[in-house]
Amino acid sequence: MAYLFTSESVSEGHPDKVADQISDALLDNFLAFDENSKVACETLVTTGQVVLAGEVKSNTYLDVQHIAREVINDIGYTKGAYKFSGDSCGVISLIHEQSQDINQGVDRANKEEQGAGDQGMMFGYATKETENYMPLALDISHKILIELAKLRREEKDILYLRPDSKSQVTIEYSDENVPQRIEAIVVSTQHDEFDEDDDHMLTKIKKDIIEILIPRVKAQLPEYVQKLFNDKITYHINPTGKFVIGGPHGDAGLTGRKIIVDTYGGKGAHGGGAFSGKDPSKVDRSAAYAARHIAKNLVAAGLSDEILVQVSYAIGVVEPTSIYVDTYGKSNVKMSNGDISKKVAELFDMRPAAIENRLKLRNPIYRETAAYGHMGKEPRTITKIFESPYNGKITREVELFTWEKLDYVDKVKEAFGLA
């Protein structure tokens, strides 16, 4: 029987994402000036206020208030009418030094023997459903909000947009788990006050979203996905009505509250640990990236059309406590999931230091992950500039989204005898 599956995304201006981006901007600055920094930074944003908290061990010192304000302004919170702006909000720092009890279990004289920064289980997922091996509903949800943010910054076709927004896409699947059509699209976008009445306002917003935004999103998609759009899609555009009060003034935001948006939109699984604000010694982050890297390369190599990878750790222990691969009964090799898991453990070194080295995670690459998903982005190299009143100015060339590279496909094919 056909079924429906839904995923959501939130914009860079959503209060939780504002918090994530501040936490990751702080992490990037610490790593830029001291690559061995240990960082676990949490952010709270609310009306006119930012609170920074957490633990840091680093040889550098930063103007954390200035960094937070820069992020807020970059997102687009620059006007007093928003009741939250980078130039006027208060920024309180409660960051303190990392616990020595934790640090002694992580650091080692031999960096290769670095212990895991925490216990827990992490998951990676990949599917042939899309060209970037991500679940389709989530991929479309992200693209809707990325394009909406572009429209906001262009200040051309839609002039009333504010930074906070959410999207949701529902797709109908066949019994064979093949996408058939888009059932529903939800878009809620913050907006300026309208001179007209609420009914006229809502009519205009709905018209602009359906006639301007959606065609721009659709044009970016491959033909097989474009065919899923149809005249019977149910659109819910600002379904609660007026949405002027939003962002951190409308709701408080916290680092790490959008972990499903950050990963696979409810497909696969999630171990529960958040990513943003954590340096790569925290396996909540680094091992989740490594698990995605494994899953994506396995699917791309043809091992299975869909794969879930689980890895687990004990705090301070070097080797993972388990590695498991689930092929959902779609394996193209005559091996059990257990046997596949053992071979994967031989192919991919999952010690924390090995993950850091393989994926180049001791670089300032994290601000770019903190909105529109940590997975499914295109790997690329960019130049970033960091300035500090205490450390001067440095320029760093860094490689983003290394866990999305298909650099193990040939090794996987050889190991599993895939053509």
The residue annotated as part of the active site, out of 5, 8, 12, 14, is: 14
Residues composing the chain: 419
Flag whether 282 is marked binding: yes
**107 labelled as ligand-binding?**
no
Please indicate whether residue 386 is annotated as part of the active site. no
The catalytic residue among 35, 70, 192, 251 is: 251
Is 279 among the catalytic positions?
Answer: no
- Residue 198's CB is within 10 A of a number of other CB atoms, namely 10
Residue 229 CA, distance from chain mean position: 25
Catalytic residue among 284, 306, 356, 404: 284
From 72, 82, 12, 16, select the one nearest 47 (Cα to Cα): 82
Has 119 been labeled as part of a binding site?
no
Is position 262 annotated in a ligand binding site? no
Count CA atoms within 13 Å of residue 194 on its CB side: 18
Tokens representing residue 169 in the block: 């896409």
* Per annotation, catalytic residue among 12, 28, 34, 42: 42
A 10 A CB-CB count for 346 gives 9
Evaluate whether 318 touches 113 at the Cβ level (below 8 Å): yes
**Which residue among the candidates 142, 282, 285, 374 is catalytic per the annotation?**
282
Helix (H, G, I), strand (E, B) or coil at 146: helix
Q: How many CB atoms lie within 10 A of CB 199?
A: 9
Is 249 an annotated catalytic residue? Answer: no
| 175 known member of a binding site | no
To the question of whether residue 416 is assigned a binding role by annotation, the answer is no
First to last CA, the chain: 34
On whether 227 is known to bind a ligand per the annotation, the reply is: no
| 305 labelled binding-site residue | no
Whether 258 is a known active-site residue: answer: yes
Catalytic residue among 53, 184, 252, 314: 252
Q: Select which of 35, 55, 192, 399 is catalytic.
A: 55
Q: Is 258 annotated as a binding residue?
A: yes
Beta strands across the sheet bearing 90-97: 90-97, 49-57, 38-46, 253-254
Q: Which residues are 234's β-sheet partners? A: 184
Pairing mode, strands 161-173 and 234-237: unpaired
Do residues 22 and 74 touch, judged by C-beta distance below 8 A? no
204 is in an annotated binding site: no
Q: Which of 123, 243, 275, 386 is catalytic?
A: 243
Q: Establish whether 278 is a catalytic residue.
A: yes
Q: Is 63 a catalytic residue?
A: no
334 in catalytic set = no
Q: Is 5 considered catalytic here? A: no
Give dist(CA 257, CA 45) in Å, integer: 12
Q: Cα–Cα distance between 27 and 364 in angstroms, integer?
A: 7
**Catalytic position from the list 8, 12, 16, 326:** 16
Distance between CA atoms of residues 32 and 393, nearest Å? 10
Retrieve residue 83's tokens: 């009741």
305 carries an active-site annotation: no
Task: Kindly state the tokens that stand for 132.
Answer: 């970037």
Judge whether 284 counts as a catalytic residue: yes
Q: Is 155 considered catalytic here?
A: no
Question: Which of 83, 143, 152, 166 is flagged as catalytic?
Answer: 166
Point out the catalytic residue in the list 17, 143, 162, 293.
Answer: 17
Known binding residues for ATP: 14, 164-166, 242-243, 251, 257-258, 274, 278
Known binding residues for Mg(2+): 16
Known binding residues: 14, 16, 42, 55, 98, 164-166, 242-243, 251, 257-258, 274, 278, 282
Question: Catalytic site residues?
Answer: 14, 16-17, 42, 55, 166, 243, 251-252, 257-258, 278, 282, 284
Known binding residues for L-methionine: 55, 98, 251, 282
Known binding residues for K(+): 42
